[in-house]
Structure 1
Amino acid sequence: MIKLFRFLKPFKIPIYFVLVLVLLQSMAELYLPTLMADIVDKGVVTGDTNYIWKIGGLMLLVAAGGMICSIVASFYSAKAGAGFGKLLRSKIFSHVGNFSLHEFDKLGTASLITRTTNDITQVQQVLIMMLRMMVMAPMMCIGGIIMALSKDTKLTLVLAVSLPVLVITIVVIARKGMPLFKAMQVKLDNLNRVLRENLTGIRVIRSFNRVTHEKKRFDEANWDLTQTAIKVNKLMAAMMPIMMIVLNLTTVAIVWFGGIRISNGHMEVGDMMAFIQYAMQIMFSFVMLSMMFVMIPRASVSAVRINEVFETNADIQDPAAPVPAKMQKGQVEFSNVTFSYPGAEMPAISDISFKMNPGEVTAIIGGTGSGKSTLINLIPRFYDVDSGKVLVDGIDVREITQESLRQKVGFVPQQAVLFTGTISENIRYGKEDATDEEVDHAAEIAQATEFISEMPDGFHSVIAQGGTNVSGGQKQRLSIARALIRKPEIYIFDDSFSALDFKTDAKLRAALKAETAFATMLIVAQRVSTIMDADQIIVLENGEIAGIGKHKELMETSKVYREIVMSQLSEEEIA
């Protein structure tokens, strides 16, 4: 957790205020028992009413001062804690934004969400308590011991017996609690994962009548977390009764031995009352520490998980001395490229070599698992190749900054992703400063104008989370419009026409041909009809090129391509 405290630098002034105010509050509380002892010994015993009023008034002033310090300290500690949490969330979000897909696969989306929300909240709460209790408790403990010694040295032997019992209790419970807190966070990750899958996959779950099964999965994950939470709470619940037993026995012992010392004339009644108050302050300082130890183990686990995110560096880094990307070309070349996913036994693609030129349409076709999507993910450098090179305008993509590389690319993913906001905002996601005319033009080319105009608010119609209020084909067309509006040098369509009917598909491809005449276009498709007119068709099988050329050439030279065509088209269409 100490590693995370480096993010507290912007909040130095509020923290200094808290420390000073807590010090003043502690001094006020330590001074009050002494004033009370003076009232008893010098005012009540002697019957001096004026002295009682005088010291009583001073006690009220000291108590009011301590209360004001406590209120202001609470305000500043909350301000520092909330600011720390905000900064930490922002830093994690920025750091995670630089991850490659490999890091997302490794840590898991559900876990990253938990770490950014629940884990940071745990650390934030502990920080607020630490600024108050972790500072106040030692002050009260040390100050209380000093003041107790000043009242009666021999009576402090009672504390020498009770304090070690408290310390041992706290240490034992904290050591047993740490593994359980760690297990709780992992199980919370699992619960979040099940819940997230249930919510995002609700259509599939209902269509296959698996609601009961998913409820059972959630109940199992929930029960697993609950059982661990019960164990932790039982363990931590044992702390307070033990504390109170020791506290009460200590009070009884002080009164017992203090009474003996008063009867022997070695101690005054007021001093014994003050001693009891100081003993209570010392004991309660350990109670405060015990409360901290209830939260610190869980926060420590959370801090480790947060640090794990910060210590996870993206596999894909910008070069130290990047080569300036060339402007307005867009030539792409694969030179003997081989790539394997982490932990995979076999390469996803092997020894891939081909070239795509501006003004040409290159299509990739192949069976499921042939490596089509893997191949196109290497162009915007979502992954790095194991061997070989991916060149853009003759420059290895690893020698260009990711920002300048991706600025050249208009990417339409296989699964169309829309964001909460208006249709116009979703299209402008490709170019933030696009004019209304550019938005209209991109939508028209993508064949989206018709259905947009039928919506209640047109381009200002709101897209629901995940695009649930538009169809699959409408999602794809909006995704295509988003790519078109940035006018990139390289267009990548990853099976982006699959949800379109043949008529819309044909109209869209005709419009795209004129719009992207000077750009490099790469289309991944399952339909042969979509790619028959491509300048170059690459046939993939088991991660290797099984054929490359135009439609007619491949019909004669590639058995794999011929089988794909014959499975989709009639003899008349082939002819």
Structure 2
Amino acid sequence: MKSRTKKFFSYYKPYLGLLTADLACAFIVSAVTLALPLCIRYITVNVLEENSSDSLSQIYMMGAVMLALVIIHTIFNMFISYQGHMMGAKMEGDMRSEMFDHYQKLSFRFYDGQKTGQLMTRTTNDIFGLTELFHHGPEDIVISVLKFAGAFGILFYIDAKLALIVLLFLPIMAVYAFYYNNKMNAALRRSKDRIGDINAQVEDTLSGIRVVQSFANEEIEKKKFAYENNRFVQSRREGYKSETLFHEGLIAFTQLITIAVIVFGGAAIVNASMDLADLLTFFLCIGILIEPIQRLVNFARLYQEGITGFDRFMDILEVEPDIQDTPGAIELKHVHGHVEFIDASFRYNVNDDAVLKNVSLHIKAGEYVALVGPSGIGKSTLCSLIPRFYELNEGAILLDGRNIKEISLRSLRRNIGFVQQDVYLFAGTVSDNIRYGKMDATMDEIVEAAKKANAHDFIMELPDGYDTDIGQRGVKLSGGQKQRLSIARVFLKNPPIIIFDEATSSLDNESEKAVQDSLETLTHNRTTLVIAHRLSTVRNAHRIIVLADNGVDEQGTHDELLAMNGTYANLYNMQLINVNTLEHPAVVKD
């Protein structure tokens, strides 16, 4: 808790000058507010009661003083309102940037267990409430304390007994406020969790809207959304109930204070222990006393909304990246591409079965290696371990004889090109997406990469060529077109190590042949790992590695593995039979 408090206040550090000015203005505003009742008391007691010859001039003079005070009050309040809010907005922006930067550092393992909608909520809704808290927090506390202390000082000066009666209400108010403040905090936390669930559901449904509509399951999605929406409404019901009892209860206490002053103040006038002018001033000061109480009530609401969001923000920020640079991590200068697995074992979670167990494998620099085997055997996982998307549980992976943990992540990944099975394209133009492989690439380099990936021809047929907007996740393109753009992106990156995770799976036969030809050219003098489901696409690999439950089951060239008549031969023959069946289906007679 102490570290979170320190972290909270650390966001004020870049804006200490603005904070100081804001608090100075708050001090002046409080002083002016307290001075106004004293000016009125001066007129009612010192001027009207004495009724001297210069009374009228004194009234005008005091009126001018009060007018000047009101102008000062307005100007400084305007500064607090504008600059204070801007300070809060800047601090909110700093937090959002820090959260986004932290997201970039977290590994695939973290995202495997998260919902995108929840993560978005923590970056937007949760932090939004902090703008008001950052701004109003210090300001409200300063103004409330100064006004409260100053008003009580004046009350005791006017009538100590009546001031003590007012003071008796405060401990009861404090206990009441503390109790409902805690209930409000818990309710607001649940509410933020629920709005995160709503965002997650909306994100999930809209991302899969084509699947939803193709199965005509709109009603199912409506029910799922209604469930999350009703949970949110229920959480807000609890929150509003606590907030209402908190707010209205404290307002009732302030009204009781006013009634007590009227009753006991009136009795004091009857008993001649207080005059009417002092009672009038006393009432004005009670108004000033109640205002900071109401301000504190509002601050408590802002605090709860802000601090629950801050706690959820810190829940993510305190997640330590499980994959990060070791002290003294090196930058790679020249990569040959020797990759070696030494007794490598990996499981996604502690209680899960091992996906890879004691895998030992050596891939020479410039070698074109294909990984094959049944689905779920760990081919993609094995390749994801090389750029450290996941961390090994046991064993080691070496790159040019050096443990990859000794290499900086940025340097390691800069030298590896990865075309994943699940293609992701960003919203923007065709050229923007290809350029992602090399951000300073020229247009000529982009076009050359597209040609190597057999993408140039279809790109030129698009309405605006390379400047065509492809929509969110490339929805305006076919599956094969998207895959070829992702391949062009890696061609442009031109890394010494390339990994293709079923990269041709979405291509038609003609495009697949063209990309295969380009791939053969690209593999020259590079270390290339290809995960393949269709074994016919990797017949020319220097070495084919067959993975099974026990790790590496077989390895060799296509012809060598067929001659072994083992696992690979069985897989190849099964695929061959399926292809022949599709091309020459049996004729069924009546």
TM-score per shorter chain, which class? Answer: over 0.9
- State the distance in 2 between where 1:477 and 1:137 align: 64
How far does the alpha carbon of each residue in 1:416-440 deviate from its partner, in whole angstroms, 9 at most, with x for none?
A: 1111121111111111111111111
Distance 1:240 1:54, change over 3 A: same
Q: Where do 5+ consecutive residues of structure 2 fail to align?
A: 582-590
Counterpart of 2:339 in structure 1 is 332
1:309-348 matches, cutoff 5 A: 309-348=316-355
Give yes or no for contact 2:325–2:409 (8 Å, CA) kept in 1. Answer: yes
Counterpart check, 1:123 vs 2:130: yes
What is the CA-CA distance between 1:35 and the residue it aligns to? Answer: 0.9
What is the CA-CA distance between 1:324 and the residue it aligns to? Answer: 4.5
How far does the alpha carbon of each residue in 1:281-312 deviate from its partner, in whole angstroms, 9 at most, with x for none?
A: 22221111111212322322221221222221
Distance 1:442 1:554, change over 3 A: same
- State the distance in 2 between where 1:85 and 1:543 align: 52
1:142-181 matches, cutoff 5 A: 142-181=149-188
Identity of counterpart residues, as a percentage? 31
Q: Which of the numbers 134, 137, 143 marks the counterpart of 2:144?
A: 137
* Residue type at the aligned position of 1:418: L
Say which is worse superposed, 522-531 or 239-248, in terms of deviation. 239-248
How far does the alpha carbon of each residue in 1:221-270 deviate from its partner, in whole angstroms, 9 at most, with x for none?
A: 01101111011112211233323332223222212222222333322322
Backbone CA RMSD of aligned residues = 1.9
1:43-442 matches, cutoff 5 A: 43-47=47-51, 48-442=55-449
Give yes or no for contact 1:370–1:543 (8 Å, CA) kept in 2. Answer: no
- State the distance in 2 between where 1:571 and 1:40 align: 104
Q: Which of the numbers 13, 19, 25 marks the counterpart of 2:17?
A: 13
Counterpart check, 1:32 vs 2:39: no
Say which is worse superposed, 354-363 or 521-530, in terms of deviation. 354-363
* Residue type at the aligned position of 1:116: T
What is the CA-CA distance between 1:138 and the residue it aligns to? Answer: 1.4
Counterpart of 2:497 in structure 1 is 490
Distance 1:300 1:324, change over 3 A: closer
Distance 1:327 1:573, change over 3 A: farther
What is the CA-CA distance between 1:373 and the residue it aligns to? Answer: 0.9
Give yes or no for contact 1:40–1:269 (8 Å, CA) kept in 2. Answer: no
SS of 2:124 mapped into structure 1? helix
Give yes or no for contact 2:346–2:392 (8 Å, CA) kept in 1. Answer: yes
* Residue type at the aligned position of 1:381: R
What is the CA-CA distance between 1:108 and the residue it aligns to? Answer: 4.1
- State the distance in 2 between where 1:573 and 1:337 align: 39
What is the CA-CA distance between 1:571 and the residue it aligns to? Answer: 9.9
How far does the alpha carbon of each residue in 1:160-194 deviate from its partner, in whole angstroms, 9 at most, with x for none?
A: 23222322221111021222122112222211211
Give yes or no for contact 1:332–1:357 (8 Å, CA) kept in 2. Answer: yes
Counterpart of 1:519 in structure 2 is 526
* Residue type at the aligned position of 1:549: G
Say which is worse superposed, 98-107 or 446-455, in terms of deviation. 98-107
SS of 1:433 mapped into structure 2? coil
Counterpart check, 1:460 vs 2:464: no
What is the CA-CA distance between 1:544 and the residue it aligns to? Answer: 2.0
What is the CA-CA distance between 1:341 and the residue it aligns to? Answer: 0.6
- State the distance in 2 between where 1:572 and 1:217 align: 41
Give yes or no for contact 2:347–2:354 (8 Å, CA) kept in 1. Answer: yes
- State the distance in 1 between where 2:133 and 2:58 align: 44
* Residue type at the aligned position of 2:360: S
Distance 1:179 1:558, change over 3 A: farther
What is the CA-CA distance between 1:106 and the residue it aligns to? Answer: 4.4
Q: Which of the numbers 557, 563, 573 marks the counterpart of 1:556?
A: 563
Counterpart check, 1:42 vs 2:46: yes
* Residue type at the aligned position of 2:120: I
Give yes or no for contact 2:166–2:260 (8 Å, CA) kept in 1. Answer: no
* Residue type at the aligned position of 1:303: F
* Residue type at the aligned position of 2:94: L
* Residue type at the aligned position of 1:398: K
Say which is worse superposed, 286-295 or 518-527, in terms of deviation. 286-295
Distance 1:277 1:217, change over 3 A: same
- State the distance in 1 between where 2:73 and 2:177 align: 28
SS of 2:12 mapped into structure 1? helix
Give yes or no for contact 1:163–1:283 (8 Å, CA) kept in 2. Answer: no
* Residue type at the aligned position of 2:21: F
How far does the alpha carbon of each residue in 1:378-421 deviate from its partner, in whole angstroms, 9 at most, with x for none?
A: 01111111112111111111111111111111111111111112
Number of aligned residues: 574
What is the CA-CA distance between 1:105 and the residue it aligns to? Answer: 3.1
Give yes or no for contact 2:345–2:395 (8 Å, CA) kept in 1. Answer: yes
- State the distance in 2 between where 1:556 and 1:97 align: 47
Give yes or no for contact 1:442–1:481 (8 Å, CA) kept in 2. Answer: yes
Say which is worse superposed, 550-559 or 521-530, in terms of deviation. 550-559
* Residue type at the aligned position of 1:73: I
- State the distance in 2 between where 1:409 and 1:91 align: 27
How far does the alpha carbon of each residue in 1:463-495 deviate from its partner, in whole angstroms, 9 at most, with x for none?
A: 211111111111110000000101100011111
Distance 1:150 1:355, change over 3 A: same
Give yes or no for contact 1:369–1:542 (8 Å, CA) kept in 2. Answer: no
SS of 1:430 mapped into structure 2? coil
Q: Where do 5+ consecutive residues of structure 1 fail to align?
A: none
- State the distance in 1 between where 2:455 and 2:275 align: 92
Say which is worse superposed, 84-93 or 551-560, in terms of deviation. 551-560
- State the distance in 1 between where 2:178 and 2:329 align: 53
Q: Which of the numbers 441, 454, 462 marks the counterpart of 1:447?
A: 454
